[in-house]
A and B are shown apart, each in its own frame.
Chain A
Amino acid sequence: MSGLLINDISMRFDLPNGGHVQALKNVTLDIKSGELMSVLGPSGCGKTTLLNIVAGFLAPTEGNIQLNEEVVHGPGPERGMVFQQGALFEWMSVRDNVSFGPDMKGMSRAESKEKVEHLLDVVGLQDFKEKAVYELSGGMQQRVALARCLANDPDVILMDEPLGALDALTREKMQSLVLDLWKDTGKTIILITHSVEEALLLGERLLVMAPRPGRVHKEYRLPFADMGVGNDLREVKKHKDYGPTREEILEMIWNMEEEIMGRTEESA
Chain B
Amino acid sequence: MTGLLVLALYVGAFFGSFFLAKAVFKSAFEKKGFNKLKTVTFGDESAITANRVASVISVITVFWLWVAFTNSVIPLPKFPGPFSGDMSFTYTAQLEDGTTDDATVTMRVYREDIQQTLDDEGNPGREPEAPEVEPGDGFAKNDSLTVARYSFKVVNVWANDEVSKRDGSSIVAINGEPIAPGESIKVGEGTIGLTDKGTPTFEPAVGLRMARLYLPAPEVVFQRFIWLNKEGYQGYTLLEHTWFSLKRVVLGFLIGAIVGVPIGYAMGLTGWARGWFDPIVEFMRPIPPLALIPLIIIWFGIGEVGKVVLLFLAALWIMIIAARSGVSGVAISKVHAAYSLGASKWQILSKVIVPNSLPDIFTGARVAMGVCWGTVVAAELVAANVGLGKMIVTASKFQLTDIIIVGIIIIGVIGFAIEVGMRALENWLIPWKGKV
Identify the A interface with B (CB < 8 A): 55-57, 74-77, 79-81, 83-84, 86-91, 100-101, 104-105, 132, 134, 145, 148-149, 152, 154, 158
Contact = CB atoms under 8 A, between A and B. Distances in A.
B342 interface: yes
Contacts of B339: 56-57, 74-75
Given A79-B340, A104-B351, 11 more contacts: A75-B339, A80-B341, A81-B340, A86-B331, A86-B436, A87-B331, A87-B333, A89-B338, A132-B432, A149-B340, A158-B340
A84 B331 CA distance: 12
Contacts of A88: 334, 337
B199 to A, nearest CB: 82
B432 A77 contact: no
Contacts of B247: none
Contact of A104 (B344, B358, B435): B344
Count class of interface residues, chain B: 20 to 34
Nearest to B355: A91
Contacts, number: 77
B203 to A, nearest CB: 71
Contact of B337 (A76, A81, A154): A81
Given A77-B342, A89-B352, A104-B344, A83 B337 contact: yes
A108 to B, nearest CB: 16
A207 B125 CA distance: 99
The binding surface of chain A is classed by DSSP as loop
A166 B218 CA distance: 62
Contacts of A148: 337, 341
A134 B342 contact: no
A87 B330 CA distance: 10
A76 B435 contact: no
Nearest to A96: B351
Nearest to B435: A134
A86 B333 contact: yes
A100 B341 CA distance: 7
A161 to B, nearest CB: 11
Given A55-B340, A104-B341, A87 B334 contact: yes
A77 B340 contact: yes
Contacts of A79: 340
A145 B334 CA distance: 11
Contacts of B431: 132
Contact of A134 (B341, B344, B356, B432): B432
B230 interface: no
B342 A101 contact: yes
A143 to B, nearest CB: 15
Contact of B333 (A75, A80, A83): A83
Contacts of B340: 55, 75-77, 79-81, 149, 154, 158
B343 interface: yes
- Most chain A Cβ neighbours within 10 Å, of B336, B431, B436: B336
Interface of B: 331, 333-334, 336-344, 347, 351-352, 355-356, 358, 430-432, 435-436
B429 to A, nearest CB: 10
A22 B191 CA distance: 95
B434 to A, nearest CB: 10
A132 B436 CA distance: 11
Contacts of B435: 90, 134
A132 B334 CA distance: 16
B336 A83 contact: yes
Contacts of A86: 331, 333-334, 436
12 contacts: A56-B339, A80-B341, A83-B333, A89-B352, A90-B432, A90-B435, A91-B358, A104-B338, A105-B342, A132-B431, A145-B337, A149-B340
A187 B337 CA distance: 18
Nearest to A100: B341
- Most chain B Cβ neighbours within 10 Å, of A74, A84, A91, A154: A91
A86 B336 CA distance: 11
A131 B358 CA distance: 20
B342 A57 contact: no
Nearest to A80: B340
Nearest to A78: B342
Given A101-B342, A152-B341, A81 B432 contact: no
A105 B343 CA distance: 8
B356 A101 contact: no
A100 B338 contact: yes
Nearest to A77: B342
- Most chain A Cβ neighbours within 10 Å, of B333, B337, B339, B431: B337
Nearest to B337: A87
Given A104-B347, A132-B432, A134-B432, A89 B341 contact: no
B426 to A, nearest CB: 13
Nearest to B334: A87
